[in-house]
Chain A
Amino acid sequence: MIAVRDLVKAYDGVPALDGVSLTVPDGEFVVLAGPNGSGKTTLVRQFNGLLEPDAGDVLVNGTPVQDDLVAARTAVGMVFQHPRDQFVAATVREEVAFGPRNLGLPNDEIDARVADALDAVGLDGRGEDRVAALSGGEQERLAIAGALAMRPAHLVLDEPFTGLDAPAQAAVRDRLAALNAAGTSVVVVTHDLRDVADLADRVVVLRDGTIAADGDYESVHERLPDLGVRQP
C-alpha cells in the first residue's frame, strides 16, 4: 500500500501540494485527475522518492520512502509522461533489463523478467529491435515493460495516453487492465478521464495542490467539469 499523509511541497515558495493525504491499497486502479499544474506529477513523484516533500510522510508498504529508496523504487514502478525520457538503451531487451541489472539479480533471473515484462505488454519477440524504431504506442508499452521488470506492486503512469492514436491507446488500456486484474495496483495520472474512467475503481481529483474529490466515478463525475477535468 502507498500511504501519503499531510504532504506539502512548494517550488520557490509557490505551493504545489498543500496537505495532501491519500492511500492506494494493493490491487486498486486509481485515476489521479486534475487540470495542468494541479500537482499530479509532483504528488506521484514522491511515491518512490524522486521528489522529497517539504513536510508530511510517504510510506510504501509501511516503510517511509526515504528510509529505503531502493525498496520504494522497486515496489513503485514509474512510467514517465514522455517515454523517450526514460529510455537508456538502444535495444528493447537492454532497455527492459536495465532496472533488474541495477538490482544485482543473476542473469537467468534478468532474462526471465525481461521475457515476462515484454510478454505482458505484447512486445514478446521484439527484444532485438531498436528502441528508436518503435512506434509511439510501442514505446509507451516498452516504458511500461521497463517498469514491470522491477516486479513492482504498484505501477504509476504519468499521462500515458498523451500523443497516442486510438489503436495505441486501446492497446495500452488493455495491458493496464490485464496487469490490474493480475494484482498490480495501477495509478494513472491524466487530465482527461475519457481515457480510463471505465477501468477506475476510484477517481481522485487534485486542484491547486489539494484533493478536491475522491470516490468512485459515479460519485464524482458530476463535479468533474467544475474541477477542470474532461469527462468521458
Chain B
Amino acid sequence: MTDLGLSYVPGDTVVHRLDARTKLLAQFVVALLAFTWSDSLALPVVWAVVLGAMALARVQPRSVLTGYALPFVLLAIATLTRALALGPPWVDVDAGLAATLHSLRVAAILLASAVYVQTTPVSETQAAISRLVPGKPGQFLAAGTSFVLRFLPVLLADLQSARAAQQARLGDQRRLHERMQTVALAGLNRTFERADRFSLALKARCFAWNPTPPRMSFTRADWFVSLGFAGLLAAATLA
C-alpha cells in the first residue's frame, strides 16, 4: 500500500464518522449538481461544498494532487487545447472559458471522490454498496468496487517505483516518448504480476463475495447531512 491520495487515511473527523451511505449520497449529489445545474451559482456552490468537506475531513490538498496528478494534467491539456487555435487570433476565449468550466466541474468531482476515499475504509464502502443495491448485483458491484479501491493504490505505487528506478539510472535524460514507453511497458508487466499476487493473497485468506459487514450506524449527523444534500438538490432543481 502506498501513501497516495487514493487510499483511506485513518482519522476521527466529522466526515470520517459519517456513514458510508451518507458520503455516497453526498458524492452523487455533487456529481449531479456539477453537471446538470446550469445556474451561475452552481460552480461556486459545488466548489464551496467540496472545499468545505476537504477542510472538515482534513484532506491534504497535496495528497490529492499527487493521487490525481494524471487526470489533473489531462484536464489542463484539454483546456489549453480548446483555448488555443492554430491561426489568428491564436486564442479562442469563449472556447477556453467553456473548457475551463467543464474542467472545474470534473475537478470538483475528483476532489469529492478524494474526500470519500480518504475518509472511508474499503470494507465500509463494500458494505454500503451491498446494502444500497440488493441481491447478487449489489454483491458483485460491491466486491468489484472493493477490488478497484484495494488494487489501484498498489498499482500506482508500482508505477511510481518503475519511474523512480528509471530515473535512478538516468532514464529521465531520454526523450519523453521513450520514457513513457519504458514506464508503460514496465507498468503493464508489473500490473499483471501484481494482479496475480493480489489474487493469490485474496484466495489465501478465503476471499468471500459476502464478507461480514463492519458495524454501521446511521446517526443524527448522517440524517442532518443527508437532508442537507437532498435540500441542495431540491433547491437546484427548483432554481
Contact = CB atoms under 8 A, between A and B. Distances in A.
Interface in B144-177: 150, 153-154
B121 A89 contact: yes
A201 to B, nearest CB: 25
A84 B153 CA distance: 12
B228 interface: no
A50 interface: yes
Interface of A: 45, 48, 50, 69-70, 73-74, 78, 80, 84-91, 94, 97-107, 110, 128-133, 146-147, 150
A78 B212 contact: no
B10 interface: yes
Contact of A130 (B3, B122, B154, B205): B3
Given A50-B200, A85-B198, A128-B10, A90 B121 contact: yes
B239 interface: no
A104 B211 contact: yes
B8 interface: yes
Interface string B65-92: 0000000000000000000000000000
Contacts of A106: 212
A78 B204 contact: yes
B8 A90 contact: yes
Contacts of A69: 206
> 3 tightest A-B contacts by CB?
A99-B205, A90-B8, A86-B201
B207 A102 contact: yes
B41 interface: no
Contacts of A105: 212
Interface residues of B, number: 30
24 contacts: A48-B204, A50-B200, A73-B203, A73-B204, A78-B204, A80-B197, A80-B204, A86-B201, A87-B1, A88-B122, A89-B121, A89-B123, A90-B1, A91-B10, A98-B123, A101-B123, A101-B212, A103-B212, A105-B212, A107-B212, A132-B1, A132-B3, A132-B7, A147-B204
A85 B150 contact: no
Contacts of A50: 200, 203-204
A85 B194 CA distance: 8
B9 A70 contact: no
B201 A90 contact: no
Contacts of B8: 89-91, 94
A102 B204 contact: no
Contacts of B202: 88
Contacts of B194: 85
A146 B205 contact: yes
Contacts of A88: 122, 150, 198, 201-202, 205
Contacts of B210: 104
A91 B206 CA distance: 19
A106 to B, nearest CB: 7
B189 interface: no
A94 B204 contact: no
B60 to A, nearest CB: 13
B163 to A, nearest CB: 18
Contact of B208 (A45, A103, A128, A147): A103
